[in-house]
């Protein structure tokens, strides 16, 4: 009980703005560093090997998103359940959630690794890898698959560390892994002349270090909930609760994978292999903005989950409001940078390929036109996930990335070519924003009634 009081008492009594800031800083640092070490891979490969290698790595991105999706399915699903149970002061149940989640991570990691090697070649072709970039993509993916277990388990457990209130430890975890990757990347790519294989090896080694670090945490006295052998026996109710809550972020990431794969196919068709590399750059820029908003989600999730479980609805409402305002500010900043400095952004990844620059400047500006209205949609989806309303959260996620965007990706390029691919993003963001606004307004009314 002393561990419980020490780590989660502040969730009930600390000032919400101060608590959000306290949780946001380590979350922001960790997600930005995590994003940067993926982006740095692209920068080193684009500058050191060339535009086609950059396109090959970008083409693998949808497959890597699938791995992240399974990490979110368990990690975020279990994280929400841990927060809710701590809010109800059900400490034993929280530890059972952790134990069951760990076993589920191992099973899924083995499944992903084996299946990945079996269907690797058709999967690469399905996601739009062209002949000119196939060898780059194949070399990178083969090594990444070998370390997929470390990635899935490390990412999932680190999210639970954050959900138990240990945000600083979660930040340090990412710092250690990302820092090692930033050191190893140039070493393997340039010094050892290993190309894309070197980038992949650096990534896997850093993921292994993260895996070891989070396991040690949950076996130590630093953790609020401990990893115990007696909790490894799967219980259907716990498994179901983890999967239902985790389905929203899982579906969002799986949808992203399908969408990015569709993007690759359409980009190759209407713009060639170089256009795929441009999309990789655009996604890197968008990732920095989106991950900044996700850091707000990470800060808000344990606060919302705990206080919703404890029926402190005023604190829930205040946390949601702060999250919405902060996300909108970040979205506007990301929009301004992408519109004012597109050429500098493209040259950061490759400064010698004129075709990449020509396609990239136009594509970057067009695709990110609706960034200002993306942030509040991400916050709203996370809110419904944090209070256990997985169905609404999943719908919000799928609507923007699948229900609206996919049809546009097939229809618009037929009439507008490569420009049609780029404008499908902002049109989808605008239409989905209107629908999300309806859900948000209704939920704020409900919270106001509960607080009165």
Query: Tens digit of pLDDT for each residue in 79-108?
Result: 888 888 887 888 899 999 999 999 999 999
Query: What backbone phi and psi angles, to 5 degrees, belong to 204?
Result: -65, -40
- pLDDT single digits (tens) 2-16: 444 555 667 777 788
Phi and psi based region of residue 190 (left: phi greater than 0; alpha: psi -120 to 50; beta: remaining): alpha
Tokens of 28: 């922001």
Calpha distance 34→68 (Å, rounded): 12
Q: What is the pLDDT of residue 44?
A: 84
Q: What is the pLDDT of residue 411?
A: 95
Contact 54, 42 (CB under 8 A): yes
Residue 446, pLDDT > 80, answer: yes
Range of the domain at 28: 2-451
Calpha distance 403→427 (Å, rounded): 12
Q: What is the pLDDT of residue 349?
A: 87
More confident residue, 253 or 123: 123
Calpha distance 181→175 (Å, rounded): 10
Contact 59, 128 (CB under 8 A): yes
Most distant CA pair in the chain, distance: 65
Q: What is the pLDDT of residue 1?
A: 43
Mean pLDDT value across residues 39-44: 80
Percentage of the chain with pLDDT > 70? 97
Tokens of 39: 């982006």
- pLDDT single digits (tens) 161-178: 888 878 778 878 888 888
Q: What is the pLDDT of residue 154?
A: 92
Calpha distance 13→59 (Å, rounded): 47
Q: What is the pLDDT of residue 2?
A: 46
Q: What is the pLDDT of residue 325?
A: 94
Tokens of 335: 């929009």
Q: What is the pLDDT of residue 433?
A: 94
Q: Number of folded domains in the chain?
A: 1
């Amino acid at each position: 009980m002393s561990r419980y009081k020490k780590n989660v008492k502040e969730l009930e009594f600390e000032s919400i703005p101060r608590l959000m800031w306290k949780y946001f800083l380590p979350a922001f640092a960790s997600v930005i560093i995590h994003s940067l070490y993926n982006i740095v891979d692209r920068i080193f490969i684009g500058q050191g090997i060339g535009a086609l290698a950059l396109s090959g790595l970008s083409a693998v991105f949808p497959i890597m998103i699938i791995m992240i999706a399974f990490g979110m399915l368990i990690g975020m699903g279990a994280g929400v359940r841990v927060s809710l149970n701590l809010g109800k002061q059900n400490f034993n149940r929280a530890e059972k959630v952790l134990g069951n989640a760990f076993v589920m991570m191992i099973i899924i990691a083995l499944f992903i690794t084996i299946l990945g090697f079996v269907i690797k070649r058709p999967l690469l072709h399905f996601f739009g890898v062209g002949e000119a970039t196939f060898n780059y993509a194949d070399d990178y993916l083969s090594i990444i698959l070998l370390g997929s277990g470390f990635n899935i388990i490390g990412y999932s457990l680190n999210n639970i560390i954050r959900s138990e209130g240990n945000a600083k430890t979660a930040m340090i975890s990412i710092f250690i892994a990302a820092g090692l990757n930033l050191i190893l990347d140039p070493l393997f790519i340039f010094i050892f002349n290993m190309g894309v294989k070197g980038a992949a090896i650096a990534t896997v080694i850093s993921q292994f270090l993260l895996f070891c670090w989070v396991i040690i945490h949950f076996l130590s006295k630093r953790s609020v909930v401990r990893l115990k052998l007696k909790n490894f026996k799967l219980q259907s109710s716990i498994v179901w609760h983890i999967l239902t809550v985790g389905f929203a972020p899982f579906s969002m990431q799986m949808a992203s994978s399908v969408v990015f794969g569709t993007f690759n196919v359409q980009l190759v068709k209407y713009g060639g292999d170089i256009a795929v590399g441009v999309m990789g750059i655009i996604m890197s820029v968008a990732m920095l903005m989106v991950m900044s908003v996700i850091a707000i989600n990470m800060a808000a999730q344990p606060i919302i989950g705990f206080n919703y479980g404890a029926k402190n609805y005023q604190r829930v409402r205040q946390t949601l409001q702060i999250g919405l305002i902060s996300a909108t500010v970040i979205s506007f900043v990301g929009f301004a940078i992408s519109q004012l400095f597109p050429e500098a952004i493209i040259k950061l990844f490759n400064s010698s390929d004129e075709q990449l620059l020509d396609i990239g400047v136009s594509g970057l500006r067009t695709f990110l036109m609706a960034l200002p209205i993306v942030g509040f949609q991400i916050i709203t989806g996370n809110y419904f996930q944090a209070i256990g309303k997985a169905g609404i959260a999943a719908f919000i996620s799928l609507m923007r990335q699948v229900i609206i965007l996919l049809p546009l990706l097939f229809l618009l390029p037929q009439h507008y070519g490569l420009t049609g691919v780029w404008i499908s993003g902002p049109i989808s963001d605008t239409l989905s924003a209107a629908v999300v606004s309806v859900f948000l307004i209704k939920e704020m009314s409900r919270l106001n009634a509960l607080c009165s």
